[in-house]
Structure 1
Amino acid sequence: MPRPANKKAARVTVDPQSPCQRKQPAEVNSRYSPRSGGSSPLLEEDDNKPAAVVRTGKKRQFEEEEEGGDFGSEMHKMLELFGADISKTLSNKKKRLEHLTQTSVKTSTKKVEEIWKAQQHERNKLQEEYCRQAESVFQQWETDIEKMKEQEEKLTNLFKQQQKLFLQTRIIQGQRLKTIRQLNEQFMRGLDELDKAHSTQQSAVHSELKKEMALLQKRILMDMQQREVTNVRKSLQTMLF
């Protein structure tokens, strides 16, 4: 004698709201079909309801596929809008970055040119001063030589006096040469000090440029992060609301 059918269990088995049991009627129908030679437990429980169970499952599955297609289409449109917003944001960020970079490069180039011109002016000034003093000494030296020649011609007969004058002239020439050496040493010291000062100044400018570049990079990153957070918030608000 067959057992009474458990109708409550049969309803739970074909419940379309349970995603894990949604395909069970089709599997049961294929597994226990007459061709396989098996018998279905559902058929044993209630011989009057198997066909209705299979039809209901297929109908609900078709409706769920339609709903899934609509949801996929809406999600695709939403992703396209989100992608367009991201492309626009990236384009704006790229333009802003290019503008900031060009401004920084122009400022740095102008500062370097001003420093180079100032250094060149100082070098030219020192060189002109050295040339002026050296020329004055050379002129005095030439004047002394001319005087010496005149004295030699006049005092040919006065050898002793000429000898004394010659000694005096040699002393004067030694002083002039000493002066030239002192000027040369002074020029070299001034040139070395100027090179050291310029090197220190260039190092300071280089360090300052590094700091400015680091600050600029930090500002750009902060701006990018802030804009990304803003865009993500807007996108989430658009998706949620």
Structure 2
Amino acid sequence: MFPHGRNDSEESEGTTIEQEEHMIIYHSDNDQDSSASQTGDILAHINTALSAKRHRMETTAQEAVEGIDQKMKQIWHSHEVAVAKFNEDSAQLFMKPFEQWNSDFQKIREQHDKLINDFQQQEKIFQESRFIHMQILRTVKHVHEQFLKDLAEMEERNNELLTGAQNEIKDEMNKLQKN
């Protein structure tokens, strides 16, 4: 009936309830003519035995409640430790992907910045190259125009020389024919 059971010392301290009832019945059957003092002694003895039993029962109940309370505290503490460990482990597991994501994001940002920088450098090189090519093209165009102008002037001079030479030859032939 009690979680802690009963010690042998408790049994030896007093009589059991069955023994006490037997004593009451025995005394009441054998000593119906007993005096009132003997009945009072029997009642005092019964009251003492019942009081001792009540005291043992209260002590046992108190020990059981204290044992249960201690066990509940241990269970609650174990539960709190397990929940704290679970929360810590979960937080670690949860943080690892975010730390990895943050690291990957940093690398991507650095690569993006590098690509932007490379693109800007390539754009600058392209602009410089374009400017140089435009300068070369202008120079080539100018040289070409100058060449065409000089060629036209040379053709005009050559035509003038040719015409002059032809005129001289005609004149010389006319002179030769006259002679």
Give the TM-score band, short-chain normalised.
0.3 to 0.5
TM-score by length of 2: 0.45
Q: Which has the higher contact order (CA 8 A, sep 6+)?
A: 2
TM-score by length of 1: 0.34
Q: Rg: which structure is higher? A: 2
